[in-house]
Structure 1
Amino acid sequence: MDATYTALDGQNTTAGGRLYMAFELGEKSWKLSLGDGQRAPSRFTVAAGDTTAVLTAIATARARCHLSADTPVYSCYEAGRDGFWLHRWLAQQGIANLVVDSASIEVNRRARRAKTDRLDSDKLLSMLMRYHTGERRVWAVARIPTPEQEDDRRLHRELERLRQERTAHTNRIRSLLVLHNLRVRHVGGRIWTHWWARQRELLAPGLRAEIDRECERLTLVRQQIRTLEAQQDQQVRSGTHRHGVAGTACGHRQRQRVDAGQGTVWLAAISQPA
């Protein structure tokens, strides 16, 4: 590749004066592609999470490209299950990293690509170089939350999972009951308890025991939901809930919509090119 000039930082800098690194993050291993834009990239496979091996790969690639130890390194990886810890670690090493939105990455329209497919590291490396030589529309860059902002969202995410579990348990109980033409509008509460006490003796022991176990799991999930909702209310009242909701009289349903909306905005908070 010929030396090219970049508009980054308003300076004319050749691609060869930098080292670029792209990660293809897997569950068990990571694939790294590193290059300076002047020669074929160096490729490495390291164990997932092995940051020492990443530093070794950088040093090896620098030597191969005849770059000094203080040559700036620019890296990227696709947003996904690893979250932002890797971004923060790279920043601590003085590496300028980008977390890119997978959905925004250009792909060959003739090659259908499943949403779960990851781009290979060589493709990411090529796009990283293009991005840093002025082609800012090759992808969208994710906004990086602070550790405190990430932690604030844990409670909301757990509540969402628990509510989904609650729905799954109630649906399962209804499905088991309808096998014997037993139909109930609400599962749980005093009315349900009295109704089930009468009906359970009419069912076969195996089915009765399965429904009892589902009821136990449902009770536990509901208790955990109440605990977390009380914690969420306390955060809102005390002002420690950083996503905050104005006033506590809005009620649980409205607060849930606001939180969910902010979560959507957070996930979609991608810096688009100007």
Structure 2
Amino acid sequence: MTQNKHAGESTYENLQTIYVSIELSKNTWLITSISPGAGEKLSRHSVPGGDIAGLLARLAQLKQKARDRTGQDYPFVTIQEAGLDGFWVHRVLEAEGHESHVVDAASIATSRRRRRVKTDRLDGETMIRALLAFKRGEPRVCSMLSVPTPFEEDRRRIVRERKVLMEERIRHSNRIKGLLFSQGIRGYDPLRRDRRERLETLRTGDGRELPVHLKSQVLRELDRMEMLLDQIKAVEAERDAMLAEEQRSAREVVMLTKVVGIGPEFAAVLWGEGLFRHFDNRRQVAAYAGLAPTPWQSGSIDREQGIGKSGNPRLRSTLLEMAWLWLRHQPASELSRWFNERVAQNGGRFKKVMITALARKLVVALWKYVTAGVVIEGARVRP
């Protein structure tokens, strides 16, 4: 303990930077800092949530106190968790000339006790320790996010909004079908253009006309669903215009849309949610998509726990959907043959497990395709 304490004191005494962690919440921002000349003492101060002026004023106070103690000025290095506040605080700090980092909270090691203590105070201290270790160059101590530019962040809004609208449309459609099914009516499709005309001709399973209040509820559901359909058309038109504009400036978007089986929506999600980023290797690509395997090895125990799901959930769900469609549109490709051979070896079982592996191989292959021009073997590409 004595040796560790002395080592810690030596580290803190040699600080040449003011390290700050910002625990963001809706009501309060907790600012935890450690400064040169203060030893191991951590300073804590809170400002109202969203008070960026109060945050900057607190940083100025920390700088003045460090100058009073040591007679020198020190730079800031800040850290915050990715959360509801997005990246605007990070951008303000960088605009002020401070080094700022946004960390994936799930990547910071925590206590494995069944009931671990968690408070904003402890989270602030944990982020400070993670930041110190990160700046010392310790590998895998935490994962810092690659913050997108405002343009890159805004470009993803279109595909995300469409996904939300599609989910709402499906809920209204299913609710209409459920209401009619309870009266013995089957086969009614709310998405058909003649949905209102067909509604007038429906009869219940025992031959009655639709009850008055039930019919009124269905009509109101149709009103909401038709509004969603109009909004989906508007979003899709905006998406197509954005892709057309990017096809004139981004070679990668053109390459994606030429692959048979990848339409405008898939191309927009693939490029906007993942492939526009820089990756050093295929493992980083699979990890960002949340498709990296998570082995569990301890002594003689060696088993797989499935995919990590720690990456981009929108990209992962799109890739899983696209993997099923890839088998239909690209049956002669090497990836489809690999999938069919592996499924055949298992007697037709474990298709869901193998489709996840196919999605992982597919995103890596597409990454190689858009970055290095390596065409997937056997895949059909439009001229």
1:265 aligns with 2:265: no
Equivalent position of 2:245 in the other structure:
238
Cα deviation per residue 1:182-229 (whole Å; 9 max; x = unaligned)? 223521223423221222882332222221111101001001111111
1:100 aligns with 2:103: yes
CA contact (8 A) 2:156 2:273 kept: no
Cα deviation per residue 1:150-191 (whole Å; 9 max; x = unaligned)? 111111111111111111111111111112122235212234
Equivalent position of 1:55 in the other structure:
56
**Bigger shift: residues 235-244 or 206-215:** 235-244
Cα deviation per residue 1:115-137 (whole Å; 9 max; x = unaligned)? xx997212111211121122242
SS across alignment from 1:137: coil
**Bigger shift: residues 246-255 or 126-135:** 246-255
> In structure 2, do the counterparts of structure 1 residues 78 and 46 end up closer, same or farther at CA, with 3 Å as the change threshold?
same
**Bigger shift: residues 18-27 or 190-199:** 190-199
Equivalent position of 2:17 in the other structure:
18
Matches of 1:166 and 1:159 in 2, distance apart? 10
SS across alignment from 1:4: helix
The aligned amino acid for 2:27 is K
TM (norm. structure 1) is 0.82
Greater radius of gyration (CA): 2
The aligned amino acid for 2:160 is R
The aligned amino acid for 2:219 is D
> In structure 2, do the counterparts of structure 1 residues 72 and 111 end up closer, same or farther at CA, with 3 Å as the change threshold?
farther
Equivalent position of 2:235 in the other structure:
228
Equivalent position of 2:217 in the other structure:
210
Equivalent position of 1:256 in the other structure:
265
Aligned with residue 109 of structure 1, among 107, 112, 116: 112
Aligned with residue 129 of structure 2, among 119, 126, 129: 126
Unpaired runs of 5+ in structure 2?
A: 1-7, 285-383
1:161 aligns with 2:164: yes
Equivalent position of 1:179 in the other structure:
182
> In structure 2, do the counterparts of structure 1 residues 92 and 197 end up closer, same or farther at CA, with 3 Å as the change threshold?
same
Cα deviation per residue 1:19-64 (whole Å; 9 max; x = unaligned)? 1110111012111101127232111111111111112222333344
Matches of 1:183 and 1:118 in 2, distance apart? 57
Equivalent position of 1:40 in the other structure:
41
The aligned amino acid for 1:197 is E
SS across alignment from 1:88: helix
CA contact (8 A) 2:23 2:124 kept: yes
Unpaired runs of 5+ in structure 1?
A: 6-13
Answer 1 or 2: higher relative contact order, Cα 8 Å, separation at least 6. Answer: 1
Structural RMSD (CA): 3.2
> In structure 2, do the counterparts of structure 1 residues 166 and 79 end up closer, same or farther at CA, with 3 Å as the change threshold?
same
The aligned amino acid for 1:53 is G
> In structure 2, do the counterparts of structure 1 residues 155 and 126 end up closer, same or farther at CA, with 3 Å as the change threshold?
same
Which runs of structure 2 are paired with 1:63-82 in the superposition (5 Å)?
63-65=64-66, 66=69, 70-82=73-85
> In structure 2, do the counterparts of structure 1 residues 257 and 22 end up closer, same or farther at CA, with 3 Å as the change threshold?
same
CA contact (8 A) 1:4 1:133 kept: no
Matches of 2:262 and 2:187 in 1, distance apart? 24
Instruction: Give the deviation of 1:77 after TM superposition.
Output: 0.7
> In structure 2, do the counterparts of structure 1 residues 187 and 83 end up closer, same or farther at CA, with 3 Å as the change threshold?
same
The aligned amino acid for 2:26 is E
TM (norm. structure 2) is 0.60
Equivalent position of 2:151 in the other structure:
148
> In structure 2, do the counterparts of structure 1 residues 265 and 239 end up closer, same or farther at CA, with 3 Å as the change threshold?
closer
Equivalent position of 1:10 in the other structure:
none
SS across alignment from 1:170: helix
Matches of 2:56 and 2:263 in 1, distance apart? 48
> In structure 2, do the counterparts of structure 1 residues 55 and 248 end up closer, same or farther at CA, with 3 Å as the change threshold?
closer
Cα deviation per residue 1:89-140 (whole Å; 9 max; x = unaligned)? 0001111011111222212223468xxx997212111211121122242111
Matches of 2:190 and 2:81 in 1, distance apart? 42
Equivalent position of 1:9 in the other structure:
none
SS across alignment from 2:84: coil
